[in-house]
Amino acid sequence: MVVVGLNHKTAPVAVREQLAIAESDLAEPLAQFRHPTLNELVILSTCNRVEIYMETGDTAACTAACTDFLAAYRGVEPAAFEPHLVYRYDMEAVRHLYRVSASLDSLVVGEPQILGQVKAAYMAARQAGRTGSVFHQLFDRALGVGKAVRHETGINDNAVSVSYAAVELAKKIFESLQSRTAMVLGAGETSELAARHLVRQGVTSIFVANRTHERAVKLAHALQGKAIAWEHVEEHLAHTDIVVSSTAAPEPVVDKTMVQRVMRARRQQPMFFIDIAVPRDIAPEVNSVENVFLYDIDDLEHVIAANRREREREALVAEEIVWREMRQFDQWLEAQDAVPTIVALRQRAEHIRQEELEKALAKLGPLDARQRRALDALTSGIVNKLLHTPTVNLKRATGQGRLRDYVQLVRHLFALDA
């Protein structure tokens, strides 16, 4: 087993984007990448990684073929991406997949999207007929690892981005964001991310204001909100619960006097201001107004730093889950070595049973169907009971370091290789 790939740690975005494959386009490369020794294949491509998972009888040949395929399929010279590739083999490949599924290898540790992306990659490969028994086990278990980490740790609980932390603070103030109204001042990336988080949390309407009105219109359209003229900000603040501000203004665009007027118009209903601008957009004195909550970028960074430390602690627990599941998969994989021997042993026993049964039937003379079925069941039962304990003990030898010796002994004692 081998995984060949690059990610945000090994390659800049300029390299990653050259190899990236959209989820909706996976069927084509899954169908095209073929090699005589390639048994199973899964392609995982996200904004932060492109990884090819392969189960193969010839690791060296398949990794070389994989590099050639990526270059040809994406129309990129191998020299442009080969220095950024990382190769992981056997149990190290298993560990890597489990860590990816658990979001331990993500740009933001604990982010929830990766588990769905791993599942989509696996399902695409399965639908294309490129997975078999090994990858069915491997990826089913990988998805289980991701779910276990989410349920058994708090790795997803704490915000570690400015935009997400801002929304989490808003939820603490208002409990529920359902039916709340928000306003975005400025049309920058961080403001947009925060606004999108707000929408996902149930905010029903969003006003967008920017000194360049065209940009406000564009962002409002993306958010299904309403663009307002800059000079009308104050009158709309009276109908706004949450304000996200990130303009490039050299001086505050919202001061204490303005907020006092707004709060009178709101009859003192609480307002939450998130100022992620540098220099600050909202005068610090605003925080002294009753029922007004103001957080600036430093406040958010303190929250993020504390949350990041907490996630790091939870990540240690998650790593234990990864190791636990790795050992279980390793035992399953090892047990597969015994399967051909068990099958061969049972086939040998069945062959002997059939031969001896035919001899006995010939000596007994004419028997009716019921009597023949009874003899058949009797001999089958004897064989199954005789083989049951050796079969169980052979499987139990998995993980004890004795399986290979047991397999060789059984094959020798019963002449299974003769």
How many Cα atoms sit within 13 Å of 327 on the Cβ side? Answer: 7
Look-up of token digits 């904004």: 47
SS3 3: strand
Give the separation between CA 120 and CA 303, rounded to whole angstroms: 33
Q: What is the pLDDT of residue 190?
A: 73
Position 29 pLDDT exceeds 70: yes
- Predicted confidence at residue 202, as pLDDT, reads 87
> Measured between alpha carbons, how far is 10 from 280 in angstroms, rounded to an integer?
35
pLDDT band at 307 (very low <50, low <70, confident <90, very high): confident
Please report the domains of the chain, with CATH numbers, ordered by start residue.
Answer: 2-152 (3.30.460.30), 162-303 (3.40.50.720), 337-413 (no CATH)
When mean pLDDT is compared across 203-207, 228-232, 335-339, 371-375, the lowest value belongs to 335-339
- Point out the residues that are catalytic: 47
pLDDT class of 160 with cuts at 50, 70, 90: low
The tens digit of pLDDT for each residue in 101-132 reads 999 998 778 878 899 999 999 999 999 999 99
Q: How confident is the model at residue 158 (pLDDT cuts 50, 70, 90)?
A: low
- Residue 198, both tokens: 């707000």
pLDDT band (50, 70, 90) for residue 410: confident
Please determine, for residue 159, whether its predicted confidence score (pLDDT) is greater than 60. Answer: no
pLDDT of amino acid 379: 94
Neighbours of 34 (CB within 10 A): 10
Q: Three-class SS of residue 294?
A: strand
Most confident option among 154-158, 255-259, 345-349? 255-259
6 and 66 in contact (C-beta within 8 Å)? no
Q: What does the mean pLDDT of the chain come to?
A: 90
Name the percent of the chain lying above pLDDT 90: 62
CB 44, CB 50: distance < 8 Å: yes
Q: Between these two residues, 306 and 356, which has the higher pLDDT value? A: 356
- Angstrom distance (rounded) from CA 21 to CA 26: 7
> Which sign does the torsion angle of CA 342, 348, 353, 358 carry?
positive
How far is the C-alpha of 254 from the C-alpha of 234, rounded, in Å? 9
Decide the pairing of beta strands 86-89 and 2-7. antiparallel
Q: Which residues contact 320 (CB under 8 A, 6 or more apart)?
A: none
User: pLDDT tens for residues 56-77?
Assistant: 999 999 999 999 999 999 999 9
Buried b (16+ CB within 10 A) or exposed e, 312-339: eebbeebbebbeebbeebeeebbbeebe
Flag whether pLDDT at 139 surpasses 60: yes
Provide the pLDDT confidence category of residue 400 given band limits of 50, 70 and 90. low
pLDDT interval class at 399 (50, 70, 90): low
Q: Which conformational region is residue 75 in: left (phi greater than 0), alpha (psi within -120 to 50 degrees), or beta?
A: left
Cα–Cα distances in angstroms (integers) from residue 250 to residues 247, 277, 278, 283, in the given order: 9, 10, 9, 12
Note the pLDDT of residue 401: 66
| Residue tagged 């276990």 (tokens) | 148
pTM above 0.75? no
- Paired sense of beta strands 271-275 and 242-245, if any: parallel
Higher pLDDT, 216 or 308: 216
From residue 105, alpha-carbon distances to 18, 90, 415 in Å are 21, 18, 48
What distance in Å separates the CA atoms of residue 200 and residue 202, rounded to the nearest whole number? 5
Please tell me the predicted confidence (pLDDT) of residue 74. Answer: 94
